[in-house]
A and B are shown apart, each in its own frame.
Chain A
């Protein structure tokens, strides 16, 4: 029974109870506490009514209800979002020694964050602004939002003073507008600073500061008993760059001086130290020292990008009241080394804890010297697949198809780290890749083997590189491309970005390449095999990449051969959604769900990105990350096909198995390629490689 699960008031029960009977109704067994709880929480009787109904004293009812809480008959649940915010707020207050802290729940969309911070900021003002106060006010979108959310009446002799000089660029959130708005919202007198916030020289500043009018305005500022201000980040996407407050050039200088943020026009570093730079003595506004001297200093700021700046604000003591959101608050605590602030549990864990798992030091593996594993694997692979592969001369880390090079054909070179077998060397052969460069475990190959592979398979029509979008692969393949092009061989590159979980749709180019690689290699390999030009092969590969959508889910982490330890951890009841093929943490950790629910989650995500119509064709790849057996893959595929069918989509080709693994990770990914005639034809084109075959 939970308080939140109240049924509709049950009048008849109340009536029945009020008849009065000391015999416990059968449905409560012989437990008077359960009966008392029922009457209290479900039937909403008062404690006196319950006493009457049960024929006991009110004190006994009270004791029953208290005991019931202790015995766990009743669980009180708080809205987890609110609870989380409260926990974070308490912890922020304690850790940073704040006077007070208000944390709003983090929720999508981020756009409304400013509004929610504004509303919370106005709540704080209501509590902390008294008659007679002078309020120094900063500027920016958040402060404007605070002003917009505030209406306070009944205060007397309150003054609102600009904390900085003015800007004249007509920004809607300029210091003068923020101050004027707030003043009118609380019916206060507004004291502007009628001088620019930044002037051209320190001499000019000194002259202005000597003006009696400006002096009187700063005099008012010096009496501030309250401050309310926002915190600006200096990160490249910060609004500070478009605020009109600063020139771009000095901001770069300040970044170089380790500044992380701006409060009331002053630059601070992450420790909260004032950063001295070119604008320091050209700025008209409150000094950091004076700010710190104000009795109550309210900072209103949220957003992960602001974490270093807010940290500096708190460490420097510039704020003693913080208004922020839960995600930012949590990040602040983590950044300052506070551990163990996990999701609040709704109730004490009463489930018997699983028998302590034996902490094995090492995962068992078939190994000789771990440092030799990649070379030994490659030796074995060449022995096993000698009919397809041979080493590229001059390197141990590149292999080419026996048939390559073929005159007049574009050479396709793929590659990446090892640990993904059969990716990438399992796809070398007629109709697919001509050569592969292999790196260490989960590490890009260096430029040398890539370049040698490219030279070896060049058939006079140029070489196409296809690899997953990772910083390391990009740098090494780029360096290799430079080497190869210097020898007169044209090189084109297509970087795969099929992992839809790795960033938002607008950032398609920033996404990583995962199992969908295999389908893209297949399409590109067919284009090369058909003798298409380098331009046409590149175009086909690019299209194949754009129309392939993959998302993976990990159930257990993978372990590295060199350490024989897991490279991340997943809780016993959890799964990592959107996991990368190197065991990179995914985008979210969620409680474990049924196979169908997992597929639905993935397919829903794919459907929101894939612009398909009923009757369209798709190709599907259900891929194991290493340790998930075919049995489970078929269970997943079954649901994938059901979902595609209800959308009216035809599965023109499907592959189910181990295609792009992450060592021994438990989990799977689902890739869908949206086909047009050309892609369908390329996928159906014959190929013959150790791990991918399409018949004639």
Chain B
């Protein structure tokens, strides 16, 4: 019971890795429309490195330790821009979760979103992964106020809307920004992969039996 959060978290990373692997070419195609077509490969590489690093962890680690391990594995494996962004997001989530064996999903989402935003100096509306992470984190807070039992329904809805909303946006960051208005009409690959991770979270971290 004590390590329930960590086990679920490790399962989450492996499910996210599988989902990203399955969508690898699709993500790269989306990226090819507005940038350099490497997003699927970068994400897949990073998550594979994360799962193999997590497999080496002791059973007794805390959720924050899981995130720390994931951050450094991801960063060392990919570099690129997603490396520092997700590494910063995971590290920040680790900080929020420090000292607790229970996995608080709202704190986790908030930590990831804030970490990514700080590293990339980004905000929503810029056609990036933040258009998924920020609404997801806010939806979790909203669910806590309104209907904690449905937290993942709130989060998933907001994340999916967020990913879809990038279609109408013009990229202002990263390589896609170079094509300016030509980026409109294309959904952002970083937002799509972020949604895959949120979905893996909902699958593995949702349906909590009871308060751990």
On A, residues with C-beta under 8 Å from B are: 234-235, 255-256, 258, 260, 270, 304-305, 307-308, 311, 327, 331, 333-337, 371, 417, 439-448, 470-472, 475-476, 479, 502-503, 512, 560, 562-563, 565, 567-568, 580, 582-585, 587
Contact = CB atoms under 8 A, between A and B. Distances in A.
B37 A567 contact: yes
B179 A560 contact: no
A446 B76 contact: yes
Interface stretch (B1-9, B117-125, B148-156): B117-125
Contact of B170 (A307, A371, A512, A582): A307
Interface stretch (B12-20, B27-35, B104-112): B27-35
B85 A308 contact: no
Q: Which 5 A-B pairs have the closest CB atoms?
A: A334-B185, A567-B37, A472-B81, A443-B80, A582-B36
Given A304-B180, A334-B185, A479 B80 contact: no
A525 B119 CA distance: 31
Contact of B169 (A308, A448, A471): A308
Contacts of A448: 75-76
A446 B83 contact: yes
Contacts of A512: 178
Interface stretch (B38-46, B57-65, B200-208): B38-46
Contacts of A446: 75-79, 83
A291 B120 CA distance: 40
Contacts of B28: 560, 563, 567
Interface string B117-155: 001100111000000000100100000000000000000
A4 to B, nearest CB: 30
Interface in B158-185: 165, 167-170, 173-175, 178-182, 184-185
B183 to A, nearest CB: 9
Nearest to B131: A258
A584 B25 contact: no
B184 A331 contact: yes
A565 B84 CA distance: 27
Among B79, B83, B167, B169, chain A packs the most CB atoms within 10 A around the CB of B79
Interface of B: 25, 28, 32-38, 41-42, 45, 75-85, 119-120, 123-125, 135, 138, 165, 167-170, 173-175, 178-182, 184-185
B35 A584 contact: yes
21 contacts: A256-B124, A270-B165, A304-B181, A439-B79, A440-B38, A445-B79, A446-B75, A447-B75, A447-B79, A470-B175, A472-B79, A475-B84, A475-B85, A475-B120, A567-B32, A567-B37, A580-B36, A582-B36, A584-B35, A584-B178, A585-B178
Report which residue of B34, B82, B85, B182 has the largest number of chain A beta carbons within 10 angstroms of its beta carbon. Answer: B182
A333 B120 CA distance: 30
B41 A334 contact: no
Contact of B84 (A331, A417, A479): A479
Given A255-B124, A443-B42, A446-B75, A475 B168 contact: no
Nearest to B77: A446
Contacts of B33: 568
Contacts of B78: 440, 443, 446
A504 B9 CA distance: 46
Nearest to B81: A472
A365 B38 CA distance: 18
Contacts of A563: 25, 28, 37, 41
B36 A583 contact: yes
A22 B161 CA distance: 72
A226 B182 CA distance: 34
Contact of A582 (B83, B138, B173, B175): B175
Given A440-B41, A568-B33, A585-B178, 5 more contacts: A260-B125, A443-B83, A475-B119, A479-B84, A585-B34
A341 B62 CA distance: 53
